[in-house]
Structure 1
């Protein structure tokens, strides 16, 4: 059995406080964005409870609502509405899939919280917060898709209310966890700041003995298959290899399942389902193994379903693969990769597209030594995502468009989500570099009200407009977002002409440390098992 180092196991022994005292529902809901509805949700609890009990009750209420939603969606998908409306029901199908995921998330949170506040571990705390944030993100994805499609307007109010219920539950759970469990993280100053460029465990190279690491230790890979376009592998299609992979494996007990993908272009849309946990996809090299598709919003796909590659399975890893969507800028939203997998990593990969290239949808994610190409909002979503040593290339959009590298979707201040771009390079792609004056390019714009994105110790070339950041719609979110820059270099890193928004920050080292891998995603919990190099803190 392959075990985590002892120091990691010691790190996650929780330091717990005494059970929190009872408070009124008014006090519990005081800091909510929706205090009146929060009090209504807790009204069945006639006697005052503590924050932890309020949180558990709100999760039960959200779970009941999600189960009713499943029945409602089944009714509509089975024949509610006329034929034309059913034919345009892709957004409703997305809602059904997302609701299935949310049922799993809520059941997992309920089980974790049932352990009691006196024994909840730090790993449990971080897992619960990630699950609750993903729950809210899924709700917003459903609601956004319905509103964009224009179908079933009678459902918009229903899903809007459900989204608010999930948000209130998120607030209550996070408030309870913050007050119950102390010392969630060790101070970053106690951690090493080294670059694990020579990790104790390294992913094997193509063609090497799969049962050993490069240093001779046993590889935590129990089984593997190969995919090749010429028929020489176990499979000729990636989707078939993914389907063959075992379901719900534990990395500690089973190890990773590896799919080696040979050189070639694979024209297929691949989904790694929630049941495909601990899966590694290893290509022949960047731009040598290419997974490609061309679905787009303009051609009738929802943004969610336009993705060439979708992953939900926990602890997913991809390396040495190019993912692309070739729909082009005129096709509007066209996703290359949609990542909704907790503790997922992409190493030495490329993401090629235009609008909405890479959807960092939800949970905790890491990208190292990757290239991302796009135009409008080409890195978007609501994960807690960290990019290290990556190249972000702005391409030439349509004539009337401006580029925004990021569009982060945090909708509640309780969420631990955001985009952290650390030691990366931001440049123009060759097509834009040749006509740089034709397009303005910005570091990001606020998709949701509490949008959060930071650039740390990165090289920013002249492609970036002196203002740095772009409005979404007038003054929306300008006082509630958090955008920050720290210790960047290059001609586009000059902050003297930056926006003067209340939510924009010139960060100091203490601010920046909050967005490093260790503090932002507790990366040592999972990355130390992968062999992927990373910086824990600042350079």
Structure 2
């Protein structure tokens, strides 16, 4: 009730006219539809949806993106229709709610991609626009795959969902893949060439002397200093000025359990944050969270952009919950803390899920926040601790604890100088550290673990050699994970990587290691899968902060340090 239902007839009229307007303007560099579709991940489906005529690759891409927009609205209509049914089980409704949330994000991502594609009629994008659009279109596929995975878990109990929603979603996934593939073929050559990697080069924005550069007014600085304790020095203390720069903080609120701040809950502070901040240059809204254990479930919506949270330190400021699949939550909706707001920054906070290993998937933190950073934070759980769901994310000097697949998802993510701690699982279980979820070869996603330390948590130490621990396993067909210049202690199995099921994805995945050290880094007995590689510095350069995340364009605004 109160949901807006789109008219399919209206949408058809609105979108189909621009489809053919593109193609009528094509004049040179024309290619047949059949030729273009051969490069698609789904060539037969591509031939069925594209107009059977010659056109520029860019016009075919625009056509496909707009058709994706039309189909995304149709799917939203279907979800709204089913969600209104009184016959659905609670489990099924929870899955559909996840799908609705993800599909609403998808519509926004497609609209933004379409705007960029239409705006650049000369077919030349800035490099950042190419990366932005590929990132958004990659996230569209990730969102639909997450929804599809959820629907598959309830399909047998609801044949209507199985026969209609899943079928519709599967076709839409093919369409979104075609859109991503055509965009990639048409524009990715504009992206800058990869360069040889100087692994010792620090590109740290305004970062100085080990401190996060916060630029504040006298009023906000006084509130901040008072909250932290006068005279104390902290990791994020730095007074920037107009000449030296600094991360602008335009306002601050304080959360304290004892009532000494502006709010006693984090959710109330988030609600007070401004809506729809355009970019970081307008300044961050800072929420300082004083020491304490905050038992609440926090979700940062997309309209709360450029929000910064700073705590009193790991294990000092703790956000904790215990939602799990074992207790009826979906994996996607089990996080203690979830964020989709772009430009989000968290510093000195522990995110925890205490459900335990017997409750199956139980997420401590889920991020679908583009251009987000987590600095000196900890993530504690067991199975599925850290859900790096989608878009571009960076983690620096963080601690990550878990058991099965405890770093998973399909973002483009770099973990740098982090400590990764496999814990003791249930008897008979093993520990695959990562489960990366790339489903399409054109997605710019993957997990890059750079200059990290992988060692056993205290409870696992006595069982090293008994409990098998692997760097990862392929959750999806094009799973991609790279471990480079990291310390791997002796808990890592000599084979390094584990299967998911049989030979699934072993020839299509991309797993790589470069210049690692420690007792677990010896690659002489690693798996011999087609998709596994020991790479050199030139290949490793593809997975650095700049080349993989385009980080030089956005991390300096955040102030979190990074190695390029």
Whether TM exceeds 0.5 here: the answer is: yes
Counterpart for residue 115 of structure 2: 111
* Alpha-carbon offset, residue 195 of structure 1: 5.6
Q: Is the 8 A contact 1:188 1:519 kept in 2?
A: no
Which of 35, 51, 59 is matched with 2:43 structurally?
35
In the alignment, the residues of structure 2 paired with residue 533 and residue 212 of structure 1 have an alpha-carbon distance, to the nearest angstrom, of 14
Counterpart for residue 96 of structure 1: 100
Which of 296, 314, 322 is matched with 2:342 structurally?
314
- Secondary structure at the aligned position of 1:434 is classed as helix
Counterpart for residue 449 of structure 1: 477
The superposition leaves residues 468-489 of structure 1 with CA deviations (integer Å, 9 ceiling, x where unpaired) of: 0000011001011110001000
Asked whether 1:247 is paired with 2:275, we answer yes
Q: Is the 8 A contact 1:19 1:117 kept in 2?
A: no
- Once the two structures are superposed, the pairs formed by residues 79-478 of structure 1 within 5 Å of their partners are 79=85, 82=87, 84-85=88-89, 88-115=92-119, 116-150=121-155, 151=158, 152-154=161-163, 155-179=165-189, 181=190, 183-185=191-193, 187-188=195-196, 193-194=201-202, 196=204, 199=207, 202-204=212-214, 207-208=224-225, 213-217=238-242, 219-252=247-280, 254-478=282-506
In the alignment, the residues of structure 1 paired with residue 318 and residue 545 of structure 2 have an alpha-carbon distance, to the nearest angstrom, of 28
TM-score w.r.t. length of structure 2 = 0.87
Q: Structure 1: any 5+ residue segments left out of the alignment?
A: 1-17
- Secondary structure at the aligned position of 1:485 is classed as strand
In the alignment, the residues of structure 2 paired with residue 219 and residue 94 of structure 1 have an alpha-carbon distance, to the nearest angstrom, of 34
In the alignment, the residues of structure 2 paired with residue 391 and residue 517 of structure 1 have an alpha-carbon distance, to the nearest angstrom, of 18
Residues 19 and 271 of structure 1: CA distance in aligned 2, closer, same or farther (over 3 Å): farther
381-390 or 206-215: bigger deviation:
206-215
Counterpart for residue 10 of structure 1: none
In the alignment, the residues of structure 1 paired with residue 516 and residue 338 of structure 2 have an alpha-carbon distance, to the nearest angstrom, of 32
Aligned positions, number: 513
Counterpart for residue 68 of structure 1: 74
* Alpha-carbon offset, residue 170 of structure 1: 1.2
In the alignment, the residues of structure 1 paired with residue 90 and residue 364 of structure 2 have an alpha-carbon distance, to the nearest angstrom, of 27
In the alignment, the residues of structure 2 paired with residue 527 and residue 301 of structure 1 have an alpha-carbon distance, to the nearest angstrom, of 34
* Alpha-carbon offset, residue 530 of structure 1: 1.5
* Alpha-carbon offset, residue 386 of structure 1: 0.3
TM-score w.r.t. length of structure 1 = 0.91
- Secondary structure at the aligned position of 2:166 is classed as helix
In the alignment, the residues of structure 2 paired with residue 219 and residue 399 of structure 1 have an alpha-carbon distance, to the nearest angstrom, of 48
* Alpha-carbon offset, residue 20 of structure 1: 7.4
Counterpart for residue 65 of structure 2: 59
In the alignment, the residues of structure 1 paired with residue 304 and residue 383 of structure 2 have an alpha-carbon distance, to the nearest angstrom, of 28
Q: Is the 8 A contact 2:224 2:252 kept in 1?
A: no
The superposition leaves residues 240-293 of structure 1 with CA deviations (integer Å, 9 ceiling, x where unpaired) of: 111111111023552111100000000011000011110101001111000001
Q: Is the 8 A contact 2:293 2:318 kept in 1?
A: yes
- Secondary structure at the aligned position of 1:126 is classed as helix
399-408 or 149-158: bigger deviation:
149-158
Asked whether 1:21 is paired with 2:49, we answer no
Residues 121 and 467 of structure 1: CA distance in aligned 2, closer, same or farther (over 3 Å): same
Counterpart for residue 78 of structure 1: 84
Residues 464 and 87 of structure 1: CA distance in aligned 2, closer, same or farther (over 3 Å): closer
- Secondary structure at the aligned position of 1:430 is classed as coil
Residues 253 and 389 of structure 1: CA distance in aligned 2, closer, same or farther (over 3 Å): closer
* Alpha-carbon offset, residue 202 of structure 1: 2.8
The superposition leaves residues 70-97 of structure 1 with CA deviations (integer Å, 9 ceiling, x where unpaired) of: 1111111111x62x53563100110001
Q: Structure 2: any 5+ residue segments left out of the alignment?
A: 1-25, 215-220, 228-235
* Alpha-carbon offset, residue 196 of structure 1: 3.3
In the alignment, the residues of structure 1 paired with residue 456 and residue 30 of structure 2 have an alpha-carbon distance, to the nearest angstrom, of 56
* Alpha-carbon offset, residue 438 of structure 1: 3.0
Which of 490, 493, 497 is matched with 2:518 structurally?
490
**RMSD, aligned CA:** 2.2
In the alignment, the residues of structure 2 paired with residue 509 and residue 415 of structure 1 have an alpha-carbon distance, to the nearest angstrom, of 22
In the alignment, the residues of structure 1 paired with residue 329 and residue 27 of structure 2 have an alpha-carbon distance, to the nearest angstrom, of 49
In the alignment, the residues of structure 1 paired with residue 493 and residue 409 of structure 2 have an alpha-carbon distance, to the nearest angstrom, of 23
The superposition leaves residues 396-439 of structure 1 with CA deviations (integer Å, 9 ceiling, x where unpaired) of: 11112110110001111111111000000001101111222331
